[in-house]
Structure formats: C-alpha cells, structure tokens
Structure 1
C-alpha cells in the first residue's frame, strides 16, 4: 500500500481540528482527517455556544478574552460579518443558593454585577417571582455563530491548498524513527507530527499509538427546543443559567433552547437524549419559569469531553516525539477556539506563544499533560 507524505496530520475536523489545521496551513503541508461523513458532526455541530469571559476555569477565561477580538472582527474573506451577537447572561439563584451566588461573584469579580430582582424580572419575565431570590448579570456575553466560525477555519484551510478527507477512520498509528504512519481504510499517510484533535475519541487515538490514556471523560449533555408562551418575544431575552448550573434557558431563532446542564459520563459515541434527562430538564425549567411545555419541538444530546481539572491539553506527549494533544475543551471549545488554535499552532511549530495570548496569562505549562493540576 502506497503512502502519502505530509508535514502534519490532524485527526478530527471539529472545531479543534479545523482551527489548528487552518492556523498551521500557512507554514506546513497539513492533512485533515475526519471519521464522519461531514466535519463537526458530533460536538461542534450540536453546540449552542455562548461567548462569555466569565465561563470556565481561569485558563479558559484567559483564552476566551484573547479570542474576543477575533470574534468581533474576524478580518476573514470567508466571514464577512462579526461572529458575536449580544446576549446578556443572567445567573439565577433561589434563596437557598445564596452561598453559591456569593462564591460565584467572588470568583468572577467585576465581570458580573448584582442587579435588583425587579430589573432581573424585567429582562427575563419568564422567571417566577417566588423562585428568584438573587441574581448576577454579565452584560458582555453574546451568542456565537458556530457554523460561521467552523466554516471560516475549514475554508481557510482549503484555501491554502490542503486536503480534508472525510469518512476516514483511523485504524492504525505507528511511529518509526521520526515519522508517523497513519493507517486508514483508504490508505496510509506519513507525517512527522500527528495532532490528536479527535474530541471524545482522543484517548482511543492515543491508544492506537501505544500512548497511555490521559483520563479524558466524555460527558453527555441534553438539549431541547420548545416554543415560548404566546405573545412572548424571545430575541431580547438573556441566557438564564442556574447559579449551580442545574439548568439553562437560551433564546434560539424564535424558540427556547433548554437544558438540565447534565454531565453524564459516556463512552465516545453518537450521543442521543435519554428520556430521564428530558423529564428532568422539563421539571427543572418549569420550577423556575412560567413556561408551559406541552410539546418538544426537537431534542438532542452531545458529548463534552473533560480532563480531571476541566482544562484542555495542548502539547506534545512526553517521550513520544511528534504526538501532539489538542483535546479536553469541555464546553468551552467554541468560545476559546481562536486563541487556543493559535496557541496550539505555536506549540506545534516550536515558536513563542502569541504576545496577546501571553498577556492574558496563558502559558504552555498550563496546557501541558504534565501540569500539576492534572497530575496531583
């Protein structure tokens, strides 16, 4: 079987793989491989992403801050409009959740503000008056055009003359000397560097290379689309999140996207919603909102993959030249993609991290597999 030679093979064409492939394509011959028939079929294509610099652990918040300029001004021939649309984020708490609210406020600081309950119910009139006791508000959050972001990276990658191969499952991954051989049913591909951006399957890809798993845990999250009450205009409503993240509600093209914010460990798979999670979602939403749910217009589930400290790995595997991890973005992969892809590309190429990303406090160590928080 003949093999094709590349500088870098990227495994996975969701937002992680597409973005790093695009960032690398100006400096290297890159092959992008995707096991499904279309890129972004699993997590990326099922994301209801919101941009918020208050969302996630510190390194994610730093990457998100460093991504904001691109979201507002992509300067891409493939994305002629901003990728963000303003959408306030309201944290809602019951009386018994006051301690959680205080802890969240202390963590997020000036990024959020307390607003009177009367104002909270003006901007989110669906909240029940006898439910809401405390609030925090993030006025800087926004909806992300996920498909436009993903397409920007795929089109940028293709414009460099590089190749995307879909429906191409990895069946073998072997290193000989300084070269990796990636085996698929459609042929073999050789490269000096392999980027493991396989999402929920990242540990399985590592196993093919004889590399110990990094402890990635895919977790299922359920989402439903329902109609708003008659006469309620949804466009101006904020995203509303329980302070303990037991649910969220977000306007979506005239409907309401609701979720129980579940995080059920799962094997890597084509995730589907389970009846119990759907019932829990409806119950939690109806406890907090005046929202009769008589029919579910659409339901789905996706996998969000986490390492132990809920931060991604972007770095080479210690002791295995040329095997690079880009995995474990959890629920933050879309909002952090512009900065994380630039960071990861610099690490792959052995160049300094971009200065604007360093200025936010991001370091290579914070993203490495050997970091202390991942290996206490």
Structure 2
C-alpha cells in the first residue's frame, strides 16, 4: 500500500506531527522499537514552563497552552533561584529570598542570593499527551507499526521508497521525527544532516526528610540542579548534558550522586538514598531551536527534530506549525514563529 506520508519515530515528535498530518493525508508511522515512546519521551520530567528555553521555544510553548487538553495539566509554580548571583530567567517575576523560602521552606536562606517566580508552569501528563496523539492518529485513519526499523530510504521518481526489512513502502513524503537518530535517518536517505547533538540528562527520585507535595519546581539559574516533589520523594537532576551517541541512555551513578549533593547544599532535605534513576537524550542543533521542514534540493524529505528538552511542553503548537510547514500551508496565526526560524535551511546558510 502507498501512503501519502511516512513518519519515522514514535516519540512525542512523531506521534504529534503524524496526528496533525492525518487530518488531510494518509499517514503511516513507523517505530523501530517494540513500544512507542521507548526513549526520551517516556523519561521526560514532564513540565510545561513558559520561561524555559530560547525565543522560538518560548513562543511555541506559549502557543501550546490553549491547545493542551486541560486535564493533562496541573499547576506547579517554577521557582528560579540564583545561588551564585546568576541572572534569573526572562519573563519570571523577581521575588525576595524570604518569599522564595516561604514557597519552598526546605531552601536554606543563606544559600539563595536571588529568586524569581513563574506561576504559569504546570506538571504535564506526558504519556497522556502522547497517547492522545496516538488515538487521534488512528481515529483519522493513520496506522502505527512497531518493530519497524527503516533499513533504506531511496528517492523513487516523485516520491520515496521506504524499506522496512524485506517490505517496501511507497510514499510522497518522509517525515524524519526519529529524535536522537534523526541525522542517521537523513544519512540513510542521502540527505544533508543537521548536526544534531544528543545530550544525556540524568534524573532520580531521592528520599530523605519530609516532602510537601505543594512545593514548586525549583530550578537553579546556573543550570546546576532542579528538584520538585514526587510522591514521598524528590525528583532531582544535576542538569547534566553529556554528549552521547544515539542509544538507550542509562543513568550514571556519579551524576545521580552529584544531583543529590547539589540539592542537599541548598536545602534541608538531607537526601540520602535513591529509589530509582533514569536518563534520556535531549537532542539539539547549535541554536537549540527545533528543525522543521524540507531540506532544499531534497523534495519530499522533511525534518521534524531538534526539540531538545522541550518536546513535551511545545508539542501541541509545534505539531500544528510543523504539519502546516511540511504541507506548504501558512503557520497558524496564534503561533508567533515563522517557517524560516525553524527551517533546516538556516543551518546550511553560509
């Protein structure tokens, strides 16, 4: 069977853009693993943070809020803290150290030099979001195939031939939404790569002193740690960005210990043991904005990649904008970006 579009990758990027494209095209989504969201999506810290990321990311995040199913979001303020005098995130409201400690009493006042509050932050049901897109894709007539590794991509007349082992699929449009593997997929197709850099991020659930579930997400302005309540424990990260090959990332014990140490230095939590830990790959290009659209000179092959650590929070707007860009339609008016800002061509200029 021929499909209008073949989307490669079953994480949040792939399922969201596939769902949007399926409104007007026949869509097949293929995933190499035996389950969808097997890597970064399933390991996300799952936060909607309007003050997190660069200009394009913040614009896409802002436009995503009204597009989220409200049932997938629950309020949790983001408290930015400066521990060595860092600048606080743009868009957050500056507050006093005393106010910060009132919001999160476990903070040590002597360890905080500046603070700011983003009250627009929410927890996100990341897997609920992902599964909603899968249901939407299937309801529109799309198909999902797991254990379907792409072994070949060949330009064939006006379209592409996608090899899945011994099976070949004809399509007019390939969308490369393969996350950390996106450059490998492009190379398989003979398409210029975008310099995607997978970076490992470690997260753990640690336990120590009492935890109040109403505490905010606390993020260090110098990118040394973040933490938030998670059940009876605390979700912590050292905000590591360790270069990696595309792989099933595993947590490093030293990174877990570093996260606990950094959080203990600025709080009274006395974290002393780890309940569980995991790692995911956040994949960026040099300017840390997403990469969406066709590569000049390679019609019918489009990237939908480079979401980095923002894939959950900007998914609704990026999928809507991405589907429009890929199909040659205008970006929806409520999304304050242009196609050029996230086009692959910007990475090849000069």
TM-score by length of 2: 0.97
The alpha carbon displacement at 1:186 in A equals: 5.5
Q: Does 1:367 align with 2:345?
A: no
Residue equivalent to 1:212 = 192
Listed one character per residue, the Cα deviations across residues 241-276 of structure 1 (whole Å, up to 9, x for unaligned) are 111111000222332100000000100000001122
Q: Residues 150-165 of structure 1: matches in 2 within 5 Å?
A: 150-165=130-145
CA distance in 2, matches of 1:178, 1:62: 35
SS at match of 1:13: coil
Query: Counterpart in 2 of 1:28?
Result: 25
1:50 pairs with one of 47, 60, 79: 47
Query: d(CA) in 2 for partners of 1:133 and 1:319?
Result: 52
**Alignment pair present for 1:353 and 2:331:** yes
- CA drift of 1:367 comes to 0.6
The alignment status of 1:338 with 2:316, answered yes or no, reads: yes
**Shift in Å, 1:46:** 0.3
Aligned partner (choices 118, 128, 142) of residue 108 of structure 2: 128
Report how many residues are paired: 350
Provide the C-alpha distance between the structure 1 equivalents of 2:240 and 2:349, rounded to a whole number of angstroms.
26
Counterparts of 1:281 and 1:154, CA distance in 2: 34
Q: Please give the root-mean-square deviation of Cα atoms over the aligned residues, in Å.
A: 1.4
1:229 aligns with 2:209: yes
What is the TM-score when the length of structure 1 is the normalising length? 0.90
| Correspondent of 2:80 among 68, 80, 91 | 91
CA contact (8 A) 1:67 1:336 kept: yes
In structure 2, do the counterparts of structure 1 residues 228 and 276 end up closer, same or farther at CA, with 3 Å as the change threshold? closer
Alignment partner, residue 138 of structure 1: 118
The answer as to whether partners of 2:192 and 2:295 remain within 8 angstroms in 1 is no
Instruction: Work out which of the residue numbers 7, 11, 20 in structure 2 matches 1:14.
Output: 11
* Residue 217 of structure 2 is aligned to residue 252 of structure 1: no
Kept after mapping to 1: 8 A contact 2:82/2:115: yes
- Structure 1 stretches of 4+ with a deviation exceeding 3 A read none
User: Contact 1:168 / 1:186 at 8 angstroms: preserved in 2?
Assistant: no
Task: Quote the residue 1:182 is aligned against.
Answer: 162
Shift of 1:333: 0.8
Provide structure 2 residue ranges, at least 5 long, that are not aligned to the other structure.
none
Gaps of 5+ in 1: 75-80
Give yes or no for contact 2:182–2:305 (8 Å, CA) kept in 1: yes
